[in-house]
Structure 1
């Protein structure tokens, strides 16, 4: 039976690397996969899933208008990077794709933003996913990182702002709960 999977973590835990590895594994067996990333994520170019380790791949993009039920051909698996940017309706479509059409869907994304607030897509993935997996990362203090901190150009922590601000290591740090609240 196909499932909707949500593999989540703080920043810099290897989510994109894991997605690219899963795609490689399917394709090595002659299977067809469909990969998506958020159209708003332009860090490495629109439509690019890029690992900090170097591997990069051009993929399809989703935005607010994407209808996954209408867009997905017959494939062995659907992989979604930056899944926190999915809408509630899109998460439901992906759940339906797995449950009714029998296509496994594996979503990778952040659970919460830099203020500790859930992203709408993540909240619905946590509610609807058949399988949840936390990808581990560590805080600078050595404890397990579960939160994200946004920093300015000088490395100073920002505690207010828009929920979405695209960036990588120059804009975000992973943190444990203690460092998130005390840092």
Structure 2
């Protein structure tokens, strides 16, 4: 028994040193090679500072809407609603979002509303939407801003991020960067 206790203590100490020290320093070192030393991409626009890797609340009709957040875009407390897809409160909240979207975007059918525009992500801080989610909002924005829809489609193409190595993940658009480009287009 004495041999097992000593072996267990030695293994615990080795794991503490490795995972709390060596592994942590290794990951920190890799982060130093990333842009902005792993602190995220900082965007300054109109005197305000934003992190483009954290979702922002864009609900004004003149902007491309961002994905809803279960944590009100609070990066200190990221998380989902933890309500299942059959939860009545969750279903009522999603239906309310769908109804709001359909009111803001007349002419769009309920089946054409992309899921990410009415459901929050697991973290509640997803900064991206799909290309389809951006395209479905073009007519509303074009009408409000008096811009030709073709210019907005071109803006979407210019801001579309391709999958990593052309294989991993879907095409996506960072909503913050797209809306900044939209403001610059009109100025």
More helix by share: 2
Q: Tell me, yes or no, whether TM beats 0.5.
A: no
User: Could you tell me the TM-score, scaled by structure 2's length?
Assistant: 0.26
- Greater Cα radius of gyration, structure 1 or 2: 2
Q: Which has the higher contact order (CA 8 A, sep 6+)?
A: 1
More strand by share: 1
